[in-house]
């Protein structure tokens, strides 16, 4: 079976949610199914799925639906219920032990939908999934429905509340669904003429049209006669009610069909339109193969639209450019963002303070900045945060002899794409075509660590110069005294600096990405080397040490920061990416009081004259604040198992990727080397053609990884963006163990074929 539980062009799915309990969900479902069967001229399969029923068998929604469908429809509809409970209370109270796990319930629903989909391949089908209670009523485990069903993000038929007070509950339930990213093409309710809620609600949604969110089309149906229990006359009456409302329901079905068709037409055109209108970053438009048309995303999965009209889940293997910490579609972050927006919007920052920026400042100075930083400067992305770092280091109170200051850095480093920070990177084919690029630095060639054949090896310019059995050995502080490389590194570094000083060069800062250089090719640098470099610079030159932690910050490597691994305090450090948990741009540059004091004076001219309009915007700050606290929790609780598996728990050096898989990979003949640290698994492939940005080996491998059969419910493709012949997979901080193990298996399989 091909697993598909999303709507396709030919297979429509609607989910019936309700603003409260007892508002007539099943009556509306019945009406919709009748109308849909009639409208489709009985040549499409129909499905009614009520995953959870309480009050059963006294109340049986399947029986109700069946009763009020014309008998001739009997063989055109399948009715299904997966969990039935006798007590007429909320599912979390009605359930028995053992309480079904969310994952199992979801898989059962996915399986049922998939079966229906497969039965309907030829003529198409319609599935109506009816929830229980209100939008935020819990299922058995206690997970509220709006959260539980988010994995499917089915289009919603929302049943509104026509009772006194129902305007409020209808709007609120609409808002609860919207903030979780659901689309609500229609809103149905009874036209209770005492309160006329339907008139108000119709007006409300008309006046509050939002060009970015589907505004539900409102339909009203007359109130039904009293619900039949077992009274035959009542059944008759209700049958007549349905007969008389069939046309109205057909109008609703038409609207849904139209919405569905428009949705897929739009999905069909998005690739071409994007190719015409958008200029993608870092992309050669002449060689774009396929465009990833993203319909939505949830947790680690991107849901994208493929040519065959299906929506397919793919693991977001580059964590969306290294931004994802807490998963896509995280409702806690959504609510946080909306609260900040609702309370403040953006506020001019100079000489102002608001709670989001103050609590984030406190959190950062007590976190990544602990014991060294005193000041937080806000900006919008890693590049601007590094520009700020440069300006902090390179601003002169009394301009000297006008000589240009150089920075010291590492080959393979990357600090962003604005021209100032470009000038802090070594010339390469990636910057030298920009006329204003003008390299201003001296760059050291750092030794790199990779595991090959179960052993970590240090390479300097391709030569192996050292071996280690474990990460703890690599990070052991005793290496400074015991490792013969220590002296060798020192000699070489200091000679190079001296040579430049003798040539008359003047330096302004040492800049580095601690431990792992990301964009430069996932280069795991020998920490001993970085430690020695810092020590030499601090002893020879009076210049600030700048850490670019844009990539390494916030538990990416299994620790709060790269600096923590080096046991070194920088003078200035920049952070971004994971800072906001993968939601929106925000960056910070932290520094100490000494750097800050350089800019004190009597006039504005002495100040750091840098700022962006949305500096410290409340949404970014508040979301960052929540994210960091979530990270701390995850680190304490969820990552324990990984720590144990790596056995380096004392030093807390570990990865979510298993040691055993890393070792297996290191022994494959087509792998030059591998390493895993924190969320990163990096594999350098053996590319005989020389590698580089256009590595073909990497391309073939990532194509294999992205492939998916969907013949099991746990099968998903993996989306990665290789860096030359280096393929890396990056988890978020919430990636579950099962997915991680699946991915490891898939990687090993693909490389062993």
Half-sphere exposure (CA, 13 Å, Cβ side) for 595? 30
User: Distance of CA 192 to CAs 222, 225, 227, Å?
Assistant: 7, 12, 16
Look up residue 551 and give its DSSP letter: T
Dist. CA 331–CA 146, nearest whole Å = 10
CB of 710 to a second copy, least distance (A): 21
Dist. CA 359–CA 347, nearest whole Å = 16
Nearest CB to a second copy, comparing residues 231 and 597: 597
List CB contacts of 445: < 8 A, sequence separation 6 or more: 410, 411, 460, 461
Half-sphere exposure (CA, 13 Å, Cβ side) for 492? 15
Dist. CA 52–CA 83, nearest whole Å = 5
Nearest CB to a second copy, comparing residues 128 and 614: 614
Nearest CB to a second copy, comparing residues 112 and 379: 379
CB of 638 to a second copy, least distance (A): 15
Nearest CB to a second copy, comparing residues 120 and 615: 615
Nearest CB to a second copy, comparing residues 417 and 473: 417
CB of 127 to a second copy, least distance (A): 21
CB of 558 to a second copy, least distance (A): 20
Dist. CA 74–CA 403, nearest whole Å = 88
Helical (H) or strand (E) element with 203: helix 197-207
Nearest CB to a second copy, comparing residues 21 and 43: 21
Cα angle for residues 192, 195, 197 (degrees, 5° grid): 80
Look up residue 328 and give its DSSP letter: B
CB of 438 to a second copy, least distance (A): 8
CB of 353 to a second copy, least distance (A): 4
CB of 290 to a second copy, least distance (A): 8
CB of 699 to a second copy, least distance (A): 12
CB of 250 to a second copy, least distance (A): 29
Q: Which of 560, 565, 500 is nearest to 534 (CA)?
A: 565
User: Distance of CA 610 to CAs 156, 395, 414, 682, Å?
Assistant: 47, 11, 22, 37
CB of 247 to a second copy, least distance (A): 29
User: Distance of CA 688 to CAs 453, 673, 691, 698, Å?
Assistant: 19, 14, 7, 11
Nearest CB to a second copy, comparing residues 247 and 404: 404
CB of 179 to a second copy, least distance (A): 4
CB of 331 to a second copy, least distance (A): 6
Half-sphere exposure (CA, 13 Å, Cβ side) for 53? 21
Nearest CB to a second copy, comparing residues 293 and 740: 293
Nearest CB to a second copy, comparing residues 271 and 411: 271
**Contact status, residue 595 vs residue 388, Cβ threshold 8 Å:** no
Strand order in 301-305's β-sheet? Answer: 301-305, 311-316, 717-719
Dist. CA 200–CA 163, nearest whole Å = 12
Nearest CB to a second copy, comparing residues 18 and 460: 18
Nearest CB to a second copy, comparing residues 434 and 667: 434
Dist. CA 355–CA 337, nearest whole Å = 14
Half-sphere exposure (CA, 13 Å, Cβ side) for 720? 30
Q: Which of 146, 155, 218, 149 is nearest to 12 (CA)?
A: 155
DSSP symbols for 558-614: SSS-HHHHHT---SEEEE-GGGGTSSS--EEEEE-HHHHHTT-SSSGGGS-----TT
CB of 673 to a second copy, least distance (A): 24
Nearest CB to a second copy, comparing residues 232 and 277: 277
**Contact status, residue 678 vs residue 561, Cβ threshold 8 Å:** no
Nearest CB to a second copy, comparing residues 135 and 665: 135
Q: Which of 438, 98, 28 is nearest to 252 (CA)?
A: 28
CB of 406 to a second copy, least distance (A): 10
Nearest CB to a second copy, comparing residues 229 and 351: 351
CB of 69 to a second copy, least distance (A): 27
HEC string of 45-88 equals EEEEEEEEECCCCCCCHHHHHHHCCCHHHHHHEEEEEEEECCCC
Q: Strands 717-719, 448-452: parallel, antiparallel or unpaired by DSSP?
A: unpaired
CB of 79 to a second copy, least distance (A): 24
Nearest CB to a second copy, comparing residues 201 and 534: 201
Nearest CB to a second copy, comparing residues 529 and 547: 547
Nearest CB to a second copy, comparing residues 407 and 747: 407
CB of 446 to a second copy, least distance (A): 23
CA dihedral 507, 510, 511, 517 (to 10 degrees): 120
CB of 10 to a second copy, least distance (A): 22
φ/ψ region of 691 (left if φ > 0, alpha if ψ in -120 to 50, else beta) reads left
Dist. CA 412–CA 445, nearest whole Å = 8
Q: What is the CA 159 to chain-centroid distance, rounded? A: 31
Nearest CB to a second copy, comparing residues 490 and 617: 617
What's the residue count for the chain? Answer: 753
């Amino acid at each position: 079976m091909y697993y598909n539980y999303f709507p396709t062009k030919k297979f429509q799915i609607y989910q019936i949610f309700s603003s409260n309990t007892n508002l007539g969900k099943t009556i509306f479902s019945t009406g919709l199914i009748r109308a849909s069967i009639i409208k489709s001229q009985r040549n499409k399969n129909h499905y009614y799925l009520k995953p959870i029923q309480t009050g059963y068998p006294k109340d049986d929604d399947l029986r109700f639906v069946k009763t009020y469908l014309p008998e001739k429809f009997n063989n055109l509809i399948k009715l299904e219920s997966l969990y039935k409970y006798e007590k007429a209370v909320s599912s979390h109270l009605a359930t028995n032990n053992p309480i079904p796990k969310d994952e199992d319930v979801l898989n059962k629903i996915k399986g049922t939908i998939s079966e229906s989909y497969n039965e309907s391949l030829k003529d198409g089908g319609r599935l109506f999934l009816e929830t229980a209670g209100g939008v935020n009523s819990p299922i058995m485990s206690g997970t509220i429905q709006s959260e539980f069903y988010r994995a499917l993000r089915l289009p919603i038929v929302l049943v509104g509340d026509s009772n006194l007070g129902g305007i409020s509950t209808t709007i609120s339930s609409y808002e609860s669904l919207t903030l979780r990213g659901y689309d609500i093409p229609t809103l149905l309710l009874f036209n209770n003429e005492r309160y006329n809620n339907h008139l108000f609600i119709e007006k409300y949604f008309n006046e509050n049209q939002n060009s970015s969110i589907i505004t539900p089309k409102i339909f009203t149906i007359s109130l039904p006669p009293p619900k039949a229990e077992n009274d035959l006359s009542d059944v008759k009456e209700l049958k007549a009610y349905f007969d008389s409302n069939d046309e109205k329901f057909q109008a609703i079905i038409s609207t849904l069909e139209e919405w569905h068709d428009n949705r897929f037409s739009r999905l069909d055109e998005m690739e071409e339109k994007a190719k015409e209108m958008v200029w993608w970053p870092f992309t050669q438009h002449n060689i774009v193969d396929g465009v990833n048309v993203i319909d939505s995303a949830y947790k680690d999965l991107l849901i994208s639209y493929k040519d065959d009209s299906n929506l397919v889940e793919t693991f977001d293997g580059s964590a969306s450019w290294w931004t994802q910490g807490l998963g896509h579609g995280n409702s806690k972050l959504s609510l946080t963002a909306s609260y900040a927006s609702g309370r403040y919007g953006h506020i001019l920052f100079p000489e102002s303070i608001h709670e989001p920026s103050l609590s984030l400042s406190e959190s950062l100075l007590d976190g990544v900045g602990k014991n060294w930083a005193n000041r937080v400067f806000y900006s919008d992305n890693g590049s601007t945060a590094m520009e700020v770092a440069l300006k902090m280091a390179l601003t002169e109170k009394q301009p000297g002899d006008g000589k240009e200051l150089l920075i010291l850095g590492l080959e393979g480093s990357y600090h962003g794409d604005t021209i100032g920070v470009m000038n802090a990177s070594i010339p390469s084919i990636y910057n030298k075509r920009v006329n204003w690029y003008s390299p201003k630095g001296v760059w050291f060639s750092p030794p790199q660590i990779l595991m090959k054949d179960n052993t970590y090896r240090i390479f300097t310019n391709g030569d192996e110069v050292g071996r280690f059995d474990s990460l703890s050995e690599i990070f052991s502080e005793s290496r400074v005294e015991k490792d013969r490389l220590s002296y060798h590194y020192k000699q070489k570094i200091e000679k190079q600096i001296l040579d430049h000083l003798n040539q008359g060069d003047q330096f302004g800062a040492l800049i580095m990405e601690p431990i792992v250089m990301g964009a430069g090719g996932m280069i795991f640098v020998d920490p001993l080397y970085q430690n020695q470099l810092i020590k030499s610079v601090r002893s020879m030159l009076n210049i600030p040490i700048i850490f670019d932690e844009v990539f390494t910050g916030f538990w990416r490597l299994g620790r709060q920061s790269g600096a923590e691994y080096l046991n070194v305090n920088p003078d200035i450090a920049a952070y971004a990416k994971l800072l906001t948990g993968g939601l929106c741009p925000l960056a910070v540059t932290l520094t100490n009081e000494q750097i800050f004091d350089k800019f004190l004076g009597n006039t504005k001219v002495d100040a750091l004259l840098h700022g962006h309009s949305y500096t410290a915007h409340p949404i970014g700050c508040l979301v960052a604040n929540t994210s960091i606290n979530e990270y701390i929790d995850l680190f304490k609780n969820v990552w324990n198992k990984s720590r144990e598996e790596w056995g380096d728990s004392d030093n807390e050096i570990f990865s979510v990727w298993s040691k055993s898989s890393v070792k297996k990979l290191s022994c494959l003949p087509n792998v030059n080397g591998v390493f895993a640290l924190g969320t990163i698994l990096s594999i350098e492939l053996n590319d005989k053609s020389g590698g580089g940005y256009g590595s073909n080996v990497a391309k073939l491998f990532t194509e294999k990884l992205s492939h998916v059969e969907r013949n099991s419910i746990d099968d998903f493709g993996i989306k990665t963006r290789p860096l030359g012949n280096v393929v890396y997979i990056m988890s978020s901080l919430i990636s579950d163990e099962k997915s991680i193990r699946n991915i490891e298996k898939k990687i090993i399989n693909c490389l062993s074929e």
